[in-house]
Structure 1
């Protein structure tokens, strides 16, 4: 195999450990250079997401830092790593690329439009495409409980729901009359500060709230998308985890993997753990 092919393998071998926001490794970031302002930020909520990329390995817990930006009409959830990334992209030499975190929900941007009741989800995969689907904002059916506890000095009340195959307990703050939360969660009479699934595979914890000291905007990026729907995208991601070499070779991409000793591995026998937040 030529030197060029070996370099190709090293890049792919690293990247495809992070096929989606459900496994390990890095991705080429969203291109945030070109954008359009869609709203003004009224409140920014920071969350830490702890998750299990492999449900059989309970001791391997990974984390993301996520920011929920709340405006008059739009909300936007995005990895906190993208704030300030414009400068890094501008300074990068022409034709070069760098990786950012690709685990958990770090490769996902979610916009909600309260006026149209539409939700837009953007997902960056390590096939270098950015996928987009648009659907109605989901309506979770919540059961509000009597349990209460303090989170960040706010009195919070518990609620439960089952959504896309997982059962969740959320803690919302009635003193913050915003019916939103992390990821796709919404619909409670107060901002959701903490929420976790019953198995502890996905745990969101609020780590801070801030009203911008200067004007901040909610922005959409001018990206070339592959339009799809949620079920098709999840099916494709699952197939990438289970048969990534076969899928990519069907797209005309050659993939080769080697052990540290230089022995080529049968890539058709390789797969990566898949423990998505959406089970349905």
Structure 2
């Protein structure tokens, strides 16, 4: 059987050309697209390093200084078809004006690209407890303006952050009166519906901050555990500590969208990442040793598992 090569074809690229009908197509060698893969079958899917995009974190802009740091372990059903679950980590920094929640594994990948002297085994030993990048976003809550900004990285797109800002979404919490002890704190149960998911959280007024996790707001204490009632997402506190650290926003290349545009773009990129990651004028050829070439269609690829926090 002839060997098969996948080559990324970009219009207007200064590389080798093949004639196809009356057009000339520019072909980028495989050596320049190692970060891309031809297929992502569910039984062999690996998120993290070879799929997630990254950005350089070398130009920080100080927004605030944290007085509290909360680290959550996160268990996520990433694929509803195969029931595949992965573990990630979220950090929330709580300052007087800004709260920042971000995927810690995504931050580590970006930091390794920013500072090439870092090594996971040396500086990020905590990463060994997690499966890689699943939460590829950071959420900033400005308590003064009551505005929330979400910044995210999408698959196979490097050095570009997608962002939207919205008024702080209202959370219509219902308190059940139930209590339990979690990590030594007396917690109360509350439930609400937000963005297509029913959430159950346990919070403690012993740490009187406004929620402290993701976009959640409107409770009089720190959330120590949160899960959606489908069992797709489960956040559980790992560490609560007094911690002084600058809360920063990085001056990365950013594409600003509305919330609906952001969610639509995200769905599109996960459904056909190899086609959309390089722009609308990119496509693929299958090149056989015999010299025969065929266009690659969407049927040749499997989409990336997509089960976002926000369903609507």
TM-score after normalising by structure 2: 0.74
What are the Cα deviations for residues 67-112 of structure 1, in whole angstroms up to 9, with x where unaligned? 100000001111224369657623369xxxxxx987331x201111
Equivalence map 1:70-149=2 (5 Å): 70-81=94-105, 82=107, 86=111, 89-91=114-116, 103-105=133-135, 107-125=136-154, 126-128=156-158, 129-149=160-180
Assess, with a 3 A threshold, how the Cα gap between structure 1 residues 230 and 33 changes in structure 2: closer, same or farther.
Answer: same
Assess, with a 3 A threshold, how the Cα gap between structure 1 residues 86 and 54 changes in structure 2: closer, same or farther.
Answer: closer
Residue among 27, 48, 53 paired with 2:78: 53
Match of 1:36 in 2: 61
What SS does the aligned partner of 1:91 have?
coil
Match of 1:275 in 2: 307
Match of 2:47 in 1: 24
What SS does the aligned partner of 2:144 have?
coil
Question: Using the alignment, how far apart are the partners of 2:150 and 2:79 within structure 1?
Answer: 24
Match of 1:12 in 2: 36
Comparing 243-252 with 267-276, greater Cα deviation is found at: 243-252
**Unmatched tracts of structure 1, length 5 or more:** 18-22, 94-99, 259-263
| RMSD between superposed Cα atoms in Å | 3.0
What are the Cα deviations for residues 16-54 of structure 1, in whole angstroms up to 9, with x where unaligned? 96xxxxx82333433211112111110000011111111
Match of 1:20 in 2: none
1:63 aligns with 2:87: yes
**Unmatched tracts of structure 2, length 5 or more:** 8-26, 41-45, 119-126, 288-293
Asked if the contact 1:249–1:255 (Cα under 8 Å) also holds between the matched residues in 2, the reply is no
Question: Using the alignment, how far apart are the partners of 2:110 and 2:220 within structure 1?
Answer: 34
Asked if the contact 1:245–1:267 (Cα under 8 Å) also holds between the matched residues in 2, the reply is no
Which one has a bigger Cα radius of gyration?
Answer: 2
What SS does the aligned partner of 2:54 have?
coil
TM superposition shift of 1:149: 1.2
Question: Using the alignment, how far apart are the partners of 1:168 and 1:201 within structure 2?
Answer: 11
Q: How many residues get paired?
A: 260
Match of 2:221 in 1: 190
TM superposition shift of 1:148: 1.2
What SS does the aligned partner of 1:199 have?
coil
Assess, with a 3 A threshold, how the Cα gap between structure 1 residues 111 and 247 changes in structure 2: closer, same or farther.
Answer: same
Residue among 221, 229, 248 paired with 2:250: 221
TM-score after normalising by structure 1: 0.82
Asked if the contact 2:171–2:216 (Cα under 8 Å) also holds between the matched residues in 1, the reply is yes
Asked if the contact 2:53–2:157 (Cα under 8 Å) also holds between the matched residues in 1, the reply is no
Question: Using the alignment, how far apart are the partners of 2:280 and 2:177 within structure 1?
Answer: 53
Comparing 47-56 with 244-253, greater Cα deviation is found at: 244-253
Match of 2:123 in 1: none
Question: Using the alignment, how far apart are the partners of 1:35 and 1:78 within structure 2?
Answer: 15
What SS does the aligned partner of 1:231 have?
helix
TM superposition shift of 1:10: 3.7
Match of 1:243 in 2: 272
Assess, with a 3 A threshold, how the Cα gap between structure 1 residues 75 and 267 changes in structure 2: closer, same or farther.
Answer: same
